[in-house]
Amino acid sequence: MKPKVGVVVFPGSNCDHDAYYSFRKVLDCDTKFLWHKGPDLQNSDLIVLPGGFSYGDYLRTGAIARFSPIMDSVINFAINGGCVVGICNGFQILLEAGLLPGVMLKNKSLQFVCKDVYLSVANDDTLFTKDISPETVLKIPVAHGDGNYFADENTLKTLEENNQIVFRYCSPEGTLDGNYNPNGSVKNIAGIMNKKGNILGMMPHPERSCNPVLGKTDGQLIFRSIINNIFN
């Protein structure tokens, strides 16, 4: 059985259609768009907060979307163990909503970075990575101006102790190296999850590397892992 997927659409989301296409057409899941103004998650098993520039990134990235009417439902769903994946702006929204710890700062370079990056799987025993062999290096694009993940020492210690870091930027060979970190994020962090393991936030865009026509399909590995394990 495949999960029902709900892709939330905020004003300014621009990766919603890519996410919809990946789950609906590539992975053949029952997928719906969920407009941010309603509270109804339409019985979704998986909620995707897509990338984009919700509310024009005004104030801070994700700061206003976090108060969109649908977010109360998303927060309840997540607290009760529902699977939520925030990609790029979606990750920023999860941070602002307090569903994941830490904050997102402007890229260290001050530049908007749009390119393929390499990710190592920091924890292969998660809903999101269970079906990916641990030595795999994923090639997935990033596209953001505020992806410089930051958390204080205590938060980082907790993240590491609980194995909540899911993806880190690395070299094409899989070596952790600051030179391959596109935004200056602390400890090369590209994606983290909550302690319970049902909420993932990541800056790279798996939905942009799902369709073979685009020449890269590593994003499928993450989405397939979720689909295969969400009901376990």
Partner 1 sequence: MLIKRRPSILDPQGKAVEKGAILLGINNIKDTRINKYIEFSVDSNDRIAAEKEVNEYCSKLLANPIMEDYEFTLEEV
User: Catalytic site residues?
Assistant: 88, 205, 207
Burial 132-170 (b: 16+ CB within 10 A, else e): beeeeebbbbbbbbbbbbebeeebbeebeeeebbbbbbb
Closest approach, Cβ 64 to partner 1, in A, equals 8
Closest approach, Cβ 60 to partner 1, in A, equals 6
Q: What is the DSSP string of 138-199?
A: EEEEEEES--EEE--HHHHHHHHHTT-EEEEEE-TTS---GGG-SS--GGGEEEEE-TTS-E
Q: Is 67 in the site for partner 1 (CB under 8 A)?
A: yes
Closer residue to partner 1 in complex, CB, 24/60: 60
Return the biggest CA–CA distance within the chain: 45
Q: Which 88-107 positions form the footprint of partner 1 (CB under 8 A)?
A: 96, 102-103, 105-107
Q: Is 64 in the site for partner 1 (CB under 8 A)?
A: yes
CA distance 40 to 69: 10
Among residues 59, 79, 114, 214, which is the contact residue for partner 1, using CB under 8 A? 59
CA 200 to chain centre: 6
Closer residue to partner 1 in complex, CB, 9/65: 65
Give the interface segment with partner 1, choosing from 35-43, 55-63, 115-123, 172-180 (CB under 8 A): 55-63
C-alpha neighbours within 13 Å on the C-beta side of residue 138: 33
- Tell me if 19 sits within 8 A of 87, measured CB to CB: yes
Closer residue to partner 1 in complex, CB, 48/192: 192
Q: CA quadruple 33, 203, 61, 92: dihedral positive or negative?
A: positive
Q: Is 147 in the site for partner 1 (CB under 8 A)?
A: no
Closest approach, Cβ 63 to partner 1, in A, equals 7
Q: Which 112-141 positions form the footprint of partner 1 (CB under 8 A)?
A: none
User: How many residues of this chain bind partner 1 (CB under 8 A)?
Assistant: 15
Closer residue to partner 1 in complex, CB, 1/110: 110
Among residues 1, 43, 80, 110, which is the contact residue for partner 1, using CB under 8 A? 110
Closest approach, Cβ 62 to partner 1, in A, equals 10
Q: CA quadruple 162, 168, 172, 175: dihedral positive or negative?
A: negative
- CA nearest 16: which of 53, 51, 61? 51
Q: Is 11 in the site for partner 1 (CB under 8 A)?
A: no
Q: Where along the sequence are the contacts to partner 1 (CB under 8 A)? A: 59-60, 63-64, 67, 96, 102-103, 105-110, 150
